[in-house]
C-alpha cells in the first residue's frame, strides 16, 4: 500500500478523537475554481490550541487503525469491516518532518489502535516521538497514551511529548465495562494519577533552569457523549472530579457518531451536536467562572438546548439581578449573561476612570441583547416589572432586551 493511501485511511480513522479537532466550517469554492485560501486544510491536518492560546496546525494520524480491542462505539474495533493500514515508524517521522519543513504543520498528534499488546503499541508511539526529537524536531507533539502500558513507557513518553492524553471514553464505569470490555476505568485513572505525579515532579524540580521536561502542556482526556444513557449532570460531575483529582488541562466532549455495522447496544442516531456544545460551555463555566456543577444543572439532569448554561442559570435566579456594573465584584460580574472574563477585566479597569454606559457594551464585546435585562448601567436600569416578567417567563428575557 502506498503512503498516500495509508495517509487517507489513518487520517480519516483519527478524526473521531476530539482532542485536537478544528471547528466545523463551510467549504468555499468558486465556479471557475479560482481563489485564494481554503477552509479545508487537507487530510490529516487539524487545528488545535497551544497552552498560550496560539492556534497551531497538527498532523493528526493513527500509527495504525488495526486494533485487538473490540470497543463497540469505535469504528476501528477488531470486528469492524473497514480498510486497515499501518505506518512504519520511519514513515510517520518522515511525513511529520516533510510537512513541517513545508510549513503545513507545527506539530504532531499521534494515536494508535492496540497491536499485539499495550506495551508493544506504546513502545512504537514513543519511538516515533523519540526519533523526531533526535532529528531536532522542535514542534509540538501530543501523544495519546495507553493506560494499560507499563509505567516506564508512560514516563518516557512525557520526556518527548508536550502533551499526553488518556481517554476516559465513557462517563460511567458500568458503561465502559459493557461497551469496551477490554478497558478498565481503574487502570485509566491509575495511569492519570501517575502522569499527574510526573508532571508535578517536573514543575517542582528547583534544580532546573529551563521549562519542565515532562509533558509541559499537561494531560487531557475525552468523553464520548450519547453512546450511553449518561445525563449531562453525570458527565459534568465526572469532569469536575477529573479536573480536581488529576489537574487535567482539558476534558474534551465528543458526540457519539453511529458507525457501520454497529451493535444494537448503541443508539441509532447521533445526539444533538448542540448538546456537545452546551457541555463545552458548561465546562468553561466550571473552570473559569466559578460555577459548581450543581448550579449549572440544578433541578434538571440535562442542560438546556434553548439557552446557554450561564443564561439558563440567570433565568432561574432573577432574584440575583439586576447587577450594578459600577459596584459589583468580579465574581458577580462573571455571572452576568454575555460577560466574558476578558470583558470583565476591561470593565473593572474602565470603571475606575469613568462610568459604563450602554454604548460601551459594543466596545467591550458584550452582546447587548443578552446582557441588558440583567445589568444596571449609568444610563440604563431594567424596570422591576421586566424582572418579574423574566421570572415568570424566562423566554421573554431576550425579547425585552430587543425593546431596551
**Chain segment 52-92, per-residue pLDDT in tens:** 566 778 899 999 999 999 999 888 999 888 999 999 999 99
CATH number of residue 162's parent domain: 3.20.20.70
276: nearest Cα among 23, 13, 11:
23
Domain boundary among 272, 287, 317: 272
When the pLDDT of each residue in the chain is averaged and rounded to a whole number, the result is: 86
Give residue-wise pLDDT tens across range 234-264.
999 999 999 999 999 999 999 988 877 777 7
237 and 155, same structural domain?
yes
252 and 198, same structural domain?
yes
Give residue-wise pLDDT tens across range 23-47.
333 343 444 444 433 334 445 666 6
341 and 208, same structural domain?
no
Collect all residues with Cβ–Cβ distance below 8 Å to 185 and sequence separation of at least 6.
Answer: 168, 173, 176, 177
137 and 254, same structural domain?
yes
CA distance 32 to 210: 53
Residue 21: is its pLDDT beyond 60?
A: no
266 and 326, same structural domain?
no
- Residue 50 is predicted with a pLDDT of 59
177 and 316, same structural domain?
no
397 falls within a domain: yes
In three state form, how does the secondary structure of 20-41 look?
HCCCCCCCCCCCCCCCCCCCCC
210 falls within a domain: yes
314 and 262, same structural domain?
no
235 falls within a domain: yes
58 falls within a domain: yes
CA distances from 181 to 17, 178, 185, 225 (A): 20, 6, 10, 18
262 and 363, same structural domain?
no
261 and 119, same structural domain?
yes
Residue 290: is its pLDDT beyond 90?
A: yes
Domain that holds residue 330: 309-403
285 falls within a domain: no
156 and 53, same structural domain?
yes
Domain boundary among 222, 249, 272: 272
Amino acid at each position: 500500500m502506498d503512503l498516500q493511501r495509508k495517509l487517507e485511511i489513518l487520517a480519516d480513522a483519527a478524526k473521531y478523537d476530539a482532542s485536537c479537532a478544528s471547528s466545523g466550517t463551510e467549504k468555499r469554492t468558486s465556479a471557475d475554481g479560482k481563489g485564494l485560501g481554503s477552509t479545508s486544510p487537507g487530510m490529516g491536518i487539524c487545528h488545535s490550541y497551544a497552552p498560550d492560546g496560539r492556534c497551531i496546525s497538527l498532523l493528526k494520524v493513527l500509527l495504525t487503525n488495526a486494533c485487538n480491542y473490540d470497543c463497540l462505539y469505535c469504528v476501528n474495533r477488531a470486528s469492524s469491516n473497514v480498510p486497515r493500514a499501518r505506518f512504519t515508524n520511519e514513515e510517520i517521522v518522515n511525513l511529520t518532518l516533510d510537512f513541517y519543513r513545508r510549513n503545513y504543520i507545527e506539530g504532531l498528534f499521534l494515536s494508535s489502535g492496540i497491536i499485539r499488546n499495550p506495551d508493544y503499541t506504546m513502545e512504537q508511539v514513543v519511538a516515533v516521538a523519540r526519533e523526531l526529537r533526535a532529528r531536532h524536531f522542535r514542534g509540538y507533539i501530543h501523544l495519546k497514551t495507553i493506560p494499560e502500558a507499563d509505567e516506564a513507557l508512560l514516563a518516557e513518553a512525557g520526556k518527548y511529548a508536550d502533551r499526553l492524553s488518556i481517554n476516559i471514553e465513557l462517563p460511567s464505569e458500568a458503561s465502559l465495562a459493557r461497551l469496551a470490555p477490554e478497558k478498565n476505568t481503574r487502570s485509566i485513572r491509575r495511569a492519570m494519577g501517575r502522569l499527574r505525579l510526573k508532571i508535578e515532579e517536573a514543575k517542582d524540580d528547583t534544580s532546573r533552569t529551563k521549562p519542565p521536561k515532562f509533558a509541559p502542556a499537561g494531560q487531557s482526556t475525552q468523553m464520548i457523549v450519547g453512546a450511553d444513557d449518561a445525563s449531562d449532570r453525570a458527565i459534568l460531575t465526572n469532569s469536575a472530579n477529573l479536573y480536581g483529582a488529576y489537574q487535567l488541562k482539558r476534558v474534551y466532549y465528543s458526540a457519539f457518531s453511529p458507525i457501520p455495522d454497529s451493535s444494537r447496544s448503541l443508539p441509532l442516531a447521533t445526539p444533538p451536536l448542540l448538546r456537545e456544545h452546551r457541555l463545552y460551555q458548561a465546562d468553561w463555566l466550571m473552570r473559569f467562572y466559578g460555577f459548581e456543577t450543581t448550579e449549572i444543572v440544578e433541578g434538571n439532569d440535562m442542560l438546556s438546548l434553548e439557552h446557554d448554561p450561564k443564561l439558563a442559570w440567570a433565568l432561574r435566579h432573577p432574584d440575583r439581578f439586576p447587577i450594578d456594573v459600577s459596584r459589583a465584584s468580579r465574581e458577580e460580574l462573571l455571572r452576568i449573561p454575555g460577560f466574558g472574563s476578558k470583558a470583565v477585566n476591561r470593565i473593572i479597569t474602565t470603571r475606575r476612570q469613568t462610568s459604563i454606559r450602554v454604548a460601551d457594551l459594543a466596545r467591550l464585546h458584550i452582546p447587548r441583547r443578552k446582557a441588558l435585562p440583567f445589568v444596571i448601567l449609568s444610563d440604563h436600569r431594567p424596570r422591576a416589572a421586566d424582572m418579574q416578567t423574566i421570572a415568570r417567563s424566562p423566554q421573554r428575557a431576550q425579547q425585552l432586551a430587543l425593546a431596551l
